[in-house]
Amino acid sequence: MALAFDEFGRPFIILREQDQKTRLRGIDAQKANIAAGKAVARILRSSLGPKGMDKMLQGPDGDVTISNDGATILEQMDVDNQIAKLMVELSRSQDYEIGDGTTGVVVMAGALLEQAERQLDRGIHPIRIAEGYEMASRVAVEHLERIAQKFEFDVDNYEPLVQTCMTTLSSKIVNRCKRSLAEIAVKAVLAVADLERRDVNLDLIKVEGKVGGKLEDTELIYGILVDKDMSHPQMPKQIEDAHIAILTCPFEPPKPKTKHKVDIDTVEKFETLRKQEQQYFDEMVQKCKDVGATLVICQWGFDDEANHLLMHRNLPAVRWVGGVELELIAIATGGRIVPRFQELTPEKLGKAGMVREKSFGTTKERMLYIEHCANSKAVTIFIRGGNKMMIEETKRSIHDALCVARNLIRNNSIVYGGGAAEITCSLAVDAAADKYPGVEQYAIRAFAEALDSVPMALAENSGLQPIETLSAVKSQQIKENIPFYGIDCNDVGTNDMREQNVFETLIGKQQQILLATQVVKMILKIDDVISNSEY
């Protein structure tokens, strides 16, 4: 590194301990970064599509995760390289924003990087490549907008939604019962959706899993499921028409926030204190009883005495319920969360048609079902499955399906899946390339080629001849000028995605292209990597 000198000729230190750091500059830096990005993309490439394979990840503590979801794989992979971390971020942001297509976005970015490398070799400046990509992505997004189709559905006719969710689920291990899971996801989303505002609060959908049973036993519960049981073993296991007091204060003597001490120095004080204490418990339980509660749900624990009093007064109670669950219960039952016993009033009680305790298997596993709630806008998806990894993977798949359903409610435009969208974009971008004067033209063409890599990977994973299949589909699209021919991954016999019912959301696809382009641009712009060398 060049040294800078001040007016007295003493050197400035720009980079501390320079010789201990490794440094890559210029084209080397770009090449190294591209290689790292490609390496990450290559790991995910084989997971793409309905015939994609899973990855087995062993965490730092020896726990095993098996997944097919791009975001999860990258998250658990614990990468060390900076550029690889960028790719992880990329997949995560797709997950946050859209929830689905996390694998596709990384594969897309990897392909863009690969093409960029080729352009670099030709001597095109990285910034020009980046700019070309930017233009191309705009063309692609606009083209998608043009070919997108509106998707009509309403609460009674949710079949189209189910079809789209099935496309998402078909690439997961749960595709054995994708139909029922897709229906569950759609029903759950419709139950909580605000169709006027076109918004869905996914927080209202709780996904619970319990090992055991089979995947087919997975069910949608219009209500809340709490992994708790009654505080006293002899309390009733089933309450009909429950009035629920939702408390965030413990059934214990009050603990004032200010520091204080009660000094006992005489026998009388000791006695009064004892009386006081008994009174506390009595009053607490009495207050709940007075307002007409038939079930108490509490965030904190109970004192033994209070527990017995509750039992004695025939007031079933649940203790140690988590904050999130408490909120959900409050929303579902239309109750208010009450922080102090004094503030309990009959209006603040939640109402549920049925609360019951259900036990599973041979171990002492019990869960509490709160059903037929006053406000049905909170649902629970209860997943059963053969083992823990299966449940976890199902949870992730359901999450993806929920996100897709939500996106469709927000914006009901769809494009066709199976690589059809990418192929038509590729054609559009390729056609647009010729209109640009200047070096960017090459970058735009490279973009078009990168778009082809997604359907190629799909074909490859499905055991088809990638190049042959792709060129056949491409020519078919051009000949008939119809944008919904894609790769026939499931060997159905037709590559008309409309017939196969393979849909993806427009915003999901657009987001994929935009995010991938952004990250690639960022990577291309780096020309200097300074890192602490291995010690």
Catalytic sites, residue numbers: 69, 102-103, 400
State yes or no: residue 481 binds another protein (CB under 8 A): no
Q: And the tokens for 453? A: 């890599």
**Is 530 a binder of another protein (CB under 8 A)?**
no
Lookup: tokens for 54: 């899973």
Which one of 25, 312, 340, 525 is in contact with another protein (CB under 8 A)? 312
Judged by phi (left if over 0) then psi (alpha if -120 to 50, else beta), residue 212 lies in: left
Of the residues 307, 412, 511, 517, which one makes contact with another protein according to CB under 8 A? 307
In contact, 232 and 310? CB cutoff 8 Å: yes
Should residue 435 be labelled a site residue for another protein when binding is judged by CB under 8 A?
A: no
- Can you tell me the distance from the alpha carbon of 303 to that of 296, in angstroms, rounded to the nearest whole number? 14
Q: Could you tell me if 393 and 171 are in contact, meaning their C-beta atoms sit under 8 angstroms apart?
A: no
End-to-end CA distance of the chain: 21
- Cα(328)–Cα(402) distance, rounded to whole angstroms? 18
**Residues 38-97 close enough to bind another protein by CB under 8 A:** 38-40, 43, 46, 51, 53-62, 64, 66, 68, 73, 76-81, 84
Instruction: Record the tokens describing residue 446, joined without a space.
Output: 């490279």
Of 150, 261, 435, 479, the one binding another protein by CB under 8 A: 261
Q: What does the longest C-alpha to C-alpha distance in the chain come to?
A: 101
**Residue from 11, 156, 197, 234 in contact with another protein (CB under 8 A):** 234
CB under 8 A: which stretch of 143-151, 315-323, 356-364, 477-485 binds another protein? 356-364
Query: DSSP class of residue 65?
Result: E
If one asks whether residue 364 binds another protein (CB under 8 A), the answer comes out as: yes
The piece of 90-98, 144-152, 388-396, 428-436 that touches another protein (CB under 8 A) is 388-396
526 lines the binding site for another protein (CB under 8 A): no
Given 263, 435, 532, 535, the residue binding another protein (CB under 8 A): 263
202 binds another protein (CB under 8 A): no
> Is the Cβ of residue 217 or residue 434 nearer to another protein in the bound state?
217
Determine if 239 is a binding residue for another protein (CB under 8 A): no
DSSP element (H, E) containing 116: helix 102-121
Q: Applying CB under 8 A, does 7 fall inside the site for another protein?
A: no
In the complex, the smallest distance separating the C-beta of residue 400 from another protein, rounded to whole angstroms, is: 17
Pick between residue 232 and residue 377 the one whose CB is nearest to another protein. Answer: 232
Interacting positions 485-514 with another protein (CB under 8 A)? none
Number of residues that bind another protein (CB under 8 A): 87
- Which one of residues 118, 146, 198, 214 is an interface residue with another protein (CB under 8 A)? 214
- The DSSP H or E segment spanning 21 is strand 21-25
- In the Cβ-directed half-sphere of 46, how many Cα atoms lie within 13 Å? 9
Q: Any idea what DSSP says for residue 52?
A: P
Q: Any contact of residue 255 with another protein (CB under 8 A)?
A: yes
Provide the minimum distance between the beta carbon of 311 and another protein in the complex, in angstroms, as a whole number: 7
Does 256 participate in binding another protein (rule CB under 8 A)? yes
Please spell the DSSP secondary structure of 316-370, one letter per residue.
-EE----HHHHHHHHHHHT--EESSGGG--GGG-EEEEEEEEEEETTTTEEEEEE
How do 317-318 and 365-373 pair as beta strands? unpaired
Question: Around Cβ 528, how many Cβ atoms within 10 Å?
Answer: 10
**Residue 31 contacts residue 17 (beta carbons within 8 Å):** no
Beta bridge partners of 243: 351
**Does 465 engage in binding with another protein (CB under 8 A)?**
no
Residue 419's closest CA among 374, 472, 380, 378?
Answer: 472
6 or 80, CB closer to another protein?
80
* 353 neighbors 241 (Cβ within 8 angstroms): yes
* Residue from 101, 126, 132, 385 binding another protein (CB under 8 A): 385
Measured from the CB atom, the residue of 109 and 331 that comes closer to another protein is 109
Shortest Cβ 393–another protein spacing (Å): 8
Pick from 161, 192, 311, 470 the residue near another protein by CB under 8 A.
311
Give yes or no for residue 16 binding another protein (CB under 8 A): no
- Restricting to residues 315-354, name those near another protein by CB under 8 A: none
The verdict on 527 binding another protein (CB under 8 A) reads no
